[in-house]
Amino acid sequence: MSKLIKPAGYKALLDMKQTEQGIKLIKEFFQQNLSTELRLRRVTAPLFVLQGLGINDDLNGVERAVTFPIKDLGDQKAEVVHSLAKWKRLSLAEYKIEPDYGIYTDMNAIRADEELDNLHSLYVDQWDWEAVVTKEERTLTYLKQVVRRIYSALLRTEYLTCETYPQIKPFLPRDIHFIHSEELLQMYPDLTPKEREDAICKKYGAVFVIGIGGKLSNGEKHDGRAPDYDDWTTPNEDGFLGLNGDILIWYPILERSFEISSMGIRVDKDSLLRQLEIEEKTERKELYFHKSLLEDRLPLSIGGGIGQSRLCMVLLHKAHIGEIQASIWPEEMRKECEEAGMPLI
């Protein structure tokens, strides 16, 4: 498989039994820390939602959702979620969550169009979280505060993992570096967005890239974002557009950048209308989620997703996400991984 990274001399530091114990340790400890840092309560989430309500996450706008007809609803179709970016905001209103408090949940998804490699699987599991903010908190300063609190929880989890398994050595830096995607373009104008992420992460170890979704000065996007959850067009106090971004680290096992979380301050009415116009998706204004937001029935919020299998992969120093989770892989990839010392579950 051309996209498969096979680290020379790779050998897993934990056997399968230790790996499963490590996964349990990491998931339980991190979610408790995340809940404490951001004042989140756990809620139960759906695996699927009804089609046509605008609730499912559209990701980059091209991925097909897995759908199926529901017999008792006259074969009305349901979609397996891509993520819960919009569902969580509806839940904040339903639970009547106060500002500076929020919810988190275990999100399980199927992404049938995913291109499979060391980091990408058909099966996605993440902690989806969402918190209510005030109008005054819709700033880059507040976004950075939340990123630092998430990163602190990550560092504590790494420390516990290394204390439990001494053969695993810590590698994450103490601090996370912030940079806007336009600054990153100016710094590395001859590189692709992925190459720019590799370069900045190798330099700083942990980076939050701000402002993902809108076009940069070269006329291209750093990466795609749906127009109706993250706010990527509102100017921030650094003079750039965007109140969202990605938490990235440099992962020495694979010698590349590694996305841990996509997150951001969510759209308000003005930025929703602006971004729907930019992406030529104004017809979505009539969908249930969008009408709820435009009619002031949803709170202002910040939120994101943190990959569960990805976090375990990083902290247990695995070379393939298939060493952490059970999924479906091309037989050729399974064979190559076995030969490279990274057998897939």
The answer to whether 325 is a known catalytic residue is no
User: 254 and 306 in contact (C-beta within 8 Å)?
Assistant: no
Active site residue 308: no
User: What is the enclosing helix (H) or strand (E) of 12?
Assistant: none
- Pairing between β-strand 244-251 and β-strand 102-110 as defined by DSSP bridges: unpaired
- Whether 75 is a known active-site residue: answer no
The answer to whether the beta carbons of residues 49 and 55 sit under 8 Å apart is: yes
Active-site residue, 89 included: no
Q: How far is the C-alpha of 45 from the C-alpha of 36, rounded, in Å?
A: 20
- The residue from 57, 182, 231, 268 that is catalytic is 57
Burial 184-202 (b: 16+ CB within 10 A, else e): bbeebeeeebeebbbbbbe
Which residue shows structure tokens 């590698």? 171
Q: Which of 35, 89, 111, 225 is catalytic?
A: 111
**Marked catalytic residue, from 121, 181, 262, 327:** 262
Reply yes or no on whether 111 is catalytic.
yes
Q: By three-state DSSP, how is residue 132 classified? A: strand
Verify whether residue 32 is a known catalytic residue: no
Catalytic residue among 125, 246, 268, 323: 246
Contact (CB, 8 A) for 247 and 187 = no
Strand ranges inside 47-172, DSSP E: 48-50, 67-70, 76-80, 102-110, 123-132
Dmax (CA) for the chain in angstroms is 58
Tokens of 249: 């680290």
Token pair of 45, please? 């989430």
8 Å CB contact between 11 and 168: no
Catalytic one among 37, 106, 183, 259? 259
Q: For residue 83, give the nearest of 107, 61, 53 by alpha carbon.
A: 107
Catalytic amino acids? 57, 111, 126, 246, 259, 262
